[in-house]
Amino acid sequence: MSGPDAIDIDTASAATSKRSTAYEALRQDARHFGGLSTREAERRRAEIFASLGTDELPADLWPVVTEELRTSLSPTVLAGVARAIRLSQAAHPDIMNLMKQAVERISRNDEYVTFASDNGSTLRLKATQELAATIAALSNRSVRCCGDSGQPETPVEQSTTLLAPAMQRVVVETQSGTRHRLTDLLCGQRTIFAFFYTRCMNPTKCSLTVTRLATIARDLEQSAPFSDLRVLACTYDPDFDLGFRLEAYGHDRGFPFTEKSVMVRCVESWEVLRDTFRLRVGYSATTVNDHARDVFLVGPELDIEPLSPESLARPLFVQERGAGSDILSIGAIAAKSCCCG
């Protein structure tokens, strides 16, 4: 991959003060992914990963790397990820298992991959071979863990600003066609707020997210102490995902549509919603070209805590967090002016 697919990560995206430039360059909503097809976005993402393979990875990229190894179906991206971590002296404690799972996942659609950094080398490896080479490299030396708290890592922003006047403009429509201000749905209770879209072709992303949300929602119906927790699933694709599509998608995955378990699409001020939650989603000319798994715990006063998508695999953990009070207070004072009267 060379020419227009090569990316200079130093100029690809403006970095925040608390995130590395590489992290910002890999965000799915970065400008250099806008308008690309899914295949083009994958190639560009892979090139960025491969360009990082000459030095130690920034600490904030390990959650991004492990998320790709857990969910990506792209041999190109996974080959780039393998290049990125091959020389690392620190690693996530599950990195070997995650790489082996990735090899198995793409074994049927494996392909040869080259990168701009190869400088015309005639040596070409398949994506599974890139992963195997990295597994071998890490196995042959002592690699220290980059810190394991015992909790799922969270490859998401840790600070968000809620702009109260703008949030007032966000209107959503439920799967049954009723419309609400989003702040009215979120305010006054704790909410698991997760994103998906029905045209997603990766079963390890949207389909799995909604299936896990459905399990949590059904458990909540049986758990009186956690009955004030709401489950809200919002589509990344509001123009396409009309109510009947949301309902069919949810029913197919056991989602119990109740007063406290709802699917929505944004019908007004989608850009405000995207910017407020810093959603990691990019678009081609017609649909989503790539996305992360964005999951949040929203407090009664619109406090936001980003959650690891893997936390949804632990319903009791999510329910206990939802019943607790240790949510990050982010923009709470501003938010009070747009909800709860």
User: What CATH number does residue 218 fall under?
Assistant: 3.40.30.10
* Contact of 181 with 334, CB cutoff 8 Å: no
Q: Looking at the structure, do residues 102 and 8 belong to the same domain, yes or no?
A: yes
Q: Looking at the structure, do residues 247 and 98 belong to the same domain, yes or no?
A: no
Which of residues 300 and 268 earns the better pLDDT score? Answer: 268
pLDDT of the residue at 160 = 47
pLDDT band at 333 (very low <50, low <70, confident <90, very high): very low
Q: Looking at the structure, do residues 140 and 168 belong to the same domain, yes or no?
A: no
Q: Is residue 320 part of a domain?
A: yes
Q: Looking at the structure, do residues 323 and 179 belong to the same domain, yes or no?
A: yes
Closest CA to 13 of 54, 58, 45, 57: 45
Q: Is residue 168 part of a domain?
A: yes
Range of the domain at 127: 3-145
Q: Looking at the structure, do residues 220 and 332 belong to the same domain, yes or no?
A: yes
What mean pLDDT do residues 77-104 have? 89
Could you give the maximum distance between any two Cα atoms of the chain, in Å?
67
What mean pLDDT do residues 299-328 have? 77
Which of residues 14 and 279 earns the better pLDDT score? Answer: 279
Is residue 169 over pLDDT 60? Answer: yes
Q: Is residue 116 part of a domain?
A: yes
214-232 pLDDT per residue, tens: 999 998 888 755 567 899 9
pLDDT of the residue at 139 = 85
Is residue 199 over pLDDT 80? Answer: yes
What mean pLDDT do residues 45-54 have? 91
190-203 core/surface letters (b: 16 or more CB in 10 A; e: else) = bbbbbbbbbebeee
Q: Looking at the structure, do residues 121 and 188 belong to the same domain, yes or no?
A: no
What is the dihedral angle through the alpha carbons of 12, 15, 19, 22, rounded to the nearest 10 degrees? 10
Q: Looking at the structure, do residues 210 and 90 belong to the same domain, yes or no?
A: no
Q: Looking at the structure, do residues 269 and 317 belong to the same domain, yes or no?
A: yes
Is residue 152 over pLDDT 80? Answer: no
DSSP secondary structure code for residue 150 in this structure: S
**Number of structural domains, the chain?**
2
Q: Looking at the structure, do residues 122 and 14 belong to the same domain, yes or no?
A: yes
Averaged pLDDT score across all residues of the chain:
83
Q: Looking at the structure, do residues 98 and 45 belong to the same domain, yes or no?
A: yes
What mean pLDDT do residues 177-203 have? 95
Q: Looking at the structure, do residues 62 and 193 belong to the same domain, yes or no?
A: no
Neighbours of 123 (CB within 10 A): 6
pLDDT of the residue at 303 = 84
pLDDT of the residue at 1 = 39
Q: Looking at the structure, do residues 217 and 104 belong to the same domain, yes or no?
A: no
235-249 pLDDT per residue, tens: 999 999 999 999 999
Strand partners, 261: 231, 258
pLDDT of the residue at 300 = 85
